[in-house]
Amino acid sequence: MLFFLISGEACKNKTSHTEPANSVEASPAYKNLNDSIRHFPDDPALYLRRAIRLTQENAHELAYDDFQKAWSLHPVLEVALPYAANLEILGKRGEKLILLKSLNQQFPSNAQVGRLLAESYTSSGQAGQAIIIYNNMIAKDSLDPETFYEKAMLLEQMKDTFGAIKALQKAYGFQGVDTYGLELANLYAEQRNPRALEICNYILKRDSAQLLIDPLFIKGIYYDNVKQYQKAIAQFDSCIARDWKTTDAYLEKGRIYFHMENFNAAIQTFNMAMTVTNSDPDAYYWLGRCYESMHQKVEAVSYYRKAISLDKNFTEARQHMEKLDSGFAHPSH
């Protein structure tokens, strides 16, 4: 069916909404719907139905015109939400922002609209406006944990750790779900706050199946940050015991060995990380750091090159490689 929808130049040259693209008209699956639109050209429900069907066929450009027409005829929430999703898919973020601002004026108490508008501001690089939206939503409903959580995630992106912790405390206090608790514990761990352990241990006690990895990993981060390295290694080993493919646990464990100057153990650990995920540039970078610290420059440069090949913007790897390369070019006497 999709061949009929997207083939031909006719899909780019509609003369009107009642005369849809020839590619759509050519599809037998759309005949009844197209006939209905020709007979009832001012019925927004018909355009919405066709837009949704086109969306299901991934014909988003064609759906865009029908969403636009449906919205112009009947600007209601049921049209706006899938229309906004269509605009996001097509990368029309400016139009999406205008649509959601209009929608927020119409439905100022609708939390879903408010969150979508805040997300749209964020993706448009207007984080400050998004925070204003979240604050307005909290003023209307000060007990909504989801709004506090989303505000916290944005504050964390903005490097406002204190503000993020305050918002997460509210979210977790209102609704003690693991998602909120683990995000809060992670920030506590980065701040060397032992309350990270309290939250993680509480969540682990409720994990009767012993499947969760995140609480163990966060405990490892906390112990690493307070320089209790053996306890940190034990937590990362517990992560690996539950899922041997937990690449980040190998990387964190390897970094600890590196900082303890146990380079052989670090190399073994980073090699395991590389075995699990051979496309992770961090594993190659840290192998390079190990070999550089052991004065094995050829091996170090090789691993730095591999890291850069996987991530062209890996500044630290490039700096270390260029430093060693310059040493080769100008050997000391």
Asked whether the predicted pLDDT for residue 15 surpasses 50, the reply is: no
Give me the pLDDT at residue 222, please. Answer: 98
- Identify the weakest region by mean pLDDT among 12-26, 65-79, 111-125, 147-161: 12-26
Residues 6+ apart with CB under 8 A from 157: 122, 127
Give me the pLDDT at residue 29, please. Answer: 79
Asked whether the predicted pLDDT for residue 11 surpasses 90, the reply is: no
Give me the pLDDT at residue 132, please. Answer: 97
Q: Per residue in 82-93, pLDDT tens?
A: 999 999 999 999
Q: Determine which helix (DSSP H) or strand (DSSP E) holds 90, and give its type and residue range.
A: none
Give me the pLDDT at residue 325, please. Answer: 85
DSSP string for residues in 286-328:
HHHHHHHHTT-HHHHHHHHHHHHHH-TT-HHHHHHHHHHHHHH
Asked whether the predicted pLDDT for residue 201 surpasses 50, the reply is: yes
- Is the overall model pTM greater than 0.75, yes or no? yes
Asked whether the predicted pLDDT for residue 2 surpasses 90, the reply is: no
- Average pLDDT, integer, range 250-275: 97
pLDDT band of 329, cuts 50, 70, 90: low
- Identify the weakest region by mean pLDDT among 9-13, 80-84, 216-220: 9-13
Q: Determine which helix (DSSP H) or strand (DSSP E) holds 227, and give its type and residue range.
A: none
Residue 35 contacts residue 20 (beta carbons within 8 Å): no
Q: Is the dihedral of CA 178, 181, 186, 192 positive or negative?
A: negative
- Average pLDDT, integer, range 49-69: 93
Asked whether the predicted pLDDT for residue 295 surpasses 50, the reply is: yes
- Identify the weakest region by mean pLDDT among 26-35, 48-57, 178-187, 247-256: 26-35
Give me the pLDDT at residue 27, please. Answer: 74
Residue 236 contacts residue 220 (beta carbons within 8 Å): yes
Give me the pLDDT at residue 333, please. Answer: 42
Q: φ and ψ at 74, to 5 degrees?
A: -150, 85
Q: Cα separation of 134 and 122, whole Å?
A: 11
Give me the pLDDT at residue 330, please. Answer: 52
- Average pLDDT, integer, range 192-221: 97
Q: Cα separation of 330 and 172, whole Å?
A: 58
Q: Cα separation of 287 and 302, whole Å?
A: 10
Q: Cα separation of 131 and 321, whole Å?
A: 41
Give me the pLDDT at residue 121, please. Answer: 96
pLDDT band of 13, cuts 50, 70, 90: very low
